[in-house]
Structure 1
Amino acid sequence: MSDELAVEATDVTKSFGAVRAVDGISVRVSAGEVYGVLGPNGAGKTTFLRMLFGLIRPDSGVIRVFGRTWAEDGVGVLDGVAGFIESPRFYPYLTGRQNLEGLALLDGGARPGLLEEVLEVVDLRDRADRRVGGYSYGMRQRLGVAASLLRQPRLLVLDEPANGLDPAGIRDMRALVKRLAASGLTVLLSSHHMEEVEEICDNVTIMSRGAVAFHGTIAELRRMAPDPGHLLATGDDDRALALAVAHPRLGLSRDPDGGLLVAGPRDEVSAYVATLVAAGVELRGLTLTRTPLEELFFMLTDASEDELVDVPAPAPAPRRSARSRAAR
């Protein structure tokens, strides 16, 4: 990472009618880092990224991209920037290679050999000549990254890149982002899954209802995280509860769906399990309910995804097509 800021958002606000989608947030992304914007669905992440791309304008505040603003530099803000908002779209009756060739022409052309290089980076070279209509969702997501890389960007913006992917697709997308970050590319990504950003991000902003709930490093988040929780299944829950008196650092309660919820330090949970075994209580299962960082995420956002409503995308602005092409 360097001292240069790839993105600097200061007191940015955006409302849609009575809904405050983004509420005075400030974000600083250093060049060369992987930065995560995390929050439940409807927390304002995509609205923030739309403002960064110039697809909508903030009501107040300023977003600078490598020191440039929309008010001062217009579409020049997107020089060296690429990515996609929500899911990338392609012509399904064309092959992956043909789609990329067409997009490269719209953007002024690509240097010889670059198309093959980006197909290699996203692991689609052997499937580039298949029609996109036959691609899996994960392949289309990776083709979107390939289209973005054709611009040879300094900043890559990815909106929920693993959303809708199966476990194998999520693994592949994480590996791809790690490879891109290792090359020195600045990556700004949004997600509503803590585990998605934990492994790959240097710093993170957690949003809740349009506002910032946390700014900091993953290491700082880990220090804040509560003790892990477990679901304990036994042959005698009443006796297991009675034996917990010898372990005051634990919190135990009955789960409405059966079993016991156990929360506390890992060493104390292990000691409690040893107590149950020594007392002859049958153990049928001990399952981690949420990782500590997942638990902290829900504590910071203080809402389930069902309690939040996504703000619909506004009608396209007159110049959106030109900006969208530049932001590929």
Structure 2
Amino acid sequence: MSDALAVDAVGLTKTYGTLTAVDRLSLQVGQGEVYGVLGPNGAGKTTFLRMLFGLIRPDSGTLSILGRSWSRDGIRTLDGVAGFIESPKFYPGLTGRKNLQLLAGLDGGVSGSRIDEVLETVDLTARRYDKVGGYSFGMRQRLGVAAALLRDPRLLVLDEPANGLDPAGIRDMRALIKRLATSGLTVLLSSHDMAEVEDVCDDVTIMRTGSVVYHGSITALRERAPEQAHHLHTTDDDRTAQLATARGLEVNPADAGLAVRGPQAEIDALVAEVVGGGIALRALARRETPLEALFFMLTEPDTDQPAAELATTGARP
């Protein structure tokens, strides 16, 4: 294995008329990492992946993949790279195995045992002779991963792999990505779901309207996240708000109750004080996780706190 970065993007910019889809994006993905590119719809994630696959060219900036670049190496830039953008498509009237056989033929062909191997990797062995038209959306997503793995890639690129899946499908996709990561494969995935990225990624780039608002590790991001928020509703929310404020908790009105943010120990003590004081508790539930709250602060345009104050921007040194 070479020492080259799996992905080395510096100052990538892509515009469409007056729209800047990607604005001076720089990020570096080391080999063996699971790296997330996170942001809401329209943040520029898919545009970046299209540049990576050579489907579009940047207006400025440089991009190398496993030590190769489109300007110097042409189609060989994708040697060792596989994946999909948006949802993978298959022939619904053919079986999963036959679809993979046809796709492998476009790449020069592989052995039948290799096809069976990748189907086993994505837990589709039992359905390999079923027509894809009968597959669930999650199964088709996993078949897309199997198709990418046929190339035995060093870099696997997945665009919103859990998008549109039900909870069981999300669980299965996350488990699959974790298994692939243990093999030493580099995985670059885009997502708009902080929980997905937090669960599987080592490092993350967060984007908003084409620009980077955070580069760094998930661990460092957690250190910048606000305290956990809870939704709290009682028979006397005004008195509860007074008690919460006296404990130094952040309190804001919320639908049918209060949004209370602060250390978990203080939240627990507040609940005990409220109940002990004869106020009945009607509802208590966690709101978004601290990382989800930070994600919204970083990516929502009407946030009261500037992104620079919430997270450090900059490419890996």
* Fold match (TM-score > 0.5): yes
Q: Is the 8 Å Cα contact of residues 5 and 31 (structure 2) preserved in structure 1? A: yes
**1:179 — aligned with what?**
179
1:47-105 C-alpha deviation (Å, 9 max, x unpaired): 00000000000000011001100010000000000000000000111110110000011
**1:316 — aligned with what?**
none
> Given the alignment of the two structures, is residue 268 of structure 1 paired with residue 266 of structure 2, yes or no?
yes
Matches within 5 A, 1:72-87: 72-87=72-87
Secondary structure of the residue that 1:267 maps to in structure 2? helix
Secondary structure of the residue that 1:101 maps to in structure 2? helix
**2:7 — aligned with what?**
7
Q: Which moved more, 1:90-99 or 1:228-237?
A: 228-237
Q: For residues 130 and 109 of structure 2, what CA distance do their matches in structure 1 show?
A: 22
1:157-179 C-alpha deviation (Å, 9 max, x unpaired): 00000000000000000000000
1:187-237 C-alpha deviation (Å, 9 max, x unpaired): 000000000010110100000110100000000000000011111011121
Which letter does structure 1 place at the counterpart of 2:67?
G
**1:163 — aligned with what?**
163
Which letter does structure 2 place at the counterpart of 1:292?
P
Which letter does structure 2 place at the counterpart of 1:179?
R
Q: Is the 8 Å Cα contact of residues 245 and 251 (structure 2) preserved in structure 1? A: no
Question: Following TM superposition, by how much is the alpha carbon of 1:258 offset from its aligned partner in structure 2, in angstroms?
Answer: 1.3
Q: For residues 270 and 112 of structure 2, what CA distance do their matches in structure 1 show?
A: 64
Q: For residues 194 and 245 of structure 1, what CA distance do their matches in structure 2 show?
A: 29
Question: Following TM superposition, by how much is the alpha carbon of 1:112 offset from its aligned partner in structure 2, in angstroms?
Answer: 4.7
**2:147 — aligned with what?**
147
Question: Following TM superposition, by how much is the alpha carbon of 1:254 offset from its aligned partner in structure 2, in angstroms?
Answer: 2.0
Q: For residues 158 and 246 of structure 1, what CA distance do their matches in structure 2 show?
A: 48
Higher relative contact order (CA 8 A, sep 6+): 1
Q: What are the ranges of 5 or more consecutive residues in structure 2 without an aligned counterpart? A: 303-317
1:236-285 C-alpha deviation (Å, 9 max, x unpaired): 212212333431x2011221x21111111111111111111211110122
**2:42 — aligned with what?**
42
Which letter does structure 1 place at the counterpart of 2:9?
A
Matches within 5 A, 1:175-214: 175-214=175-214
TM-score by length of 2: 0.93
**2:297 — aligned with what?**
299
Q: Is the 8 Å Cα contact of residues 35 and 201 (structure 2) preserved in structure 1? A: yes
Question: Following TM superposition, by how much is the alpha carbon of 1:11 offset from its aligned partner in structure 2, in angstroms?
Answer: 0.3
**1:252 — aligned with what?**
251
TM-score by length of 1: 0.90
Identity %: 65
Q: Is the 8 Å Cα contact of residues 91 and 99 (structure 1) preserved in structure 2? A: yes
Structure 1 runs of 4+ with >2 Å offset? 1-4, 241-246
Which letter does structure 2 place at the counterpart of 1:110?
V
Length, aligned pairs only: 302
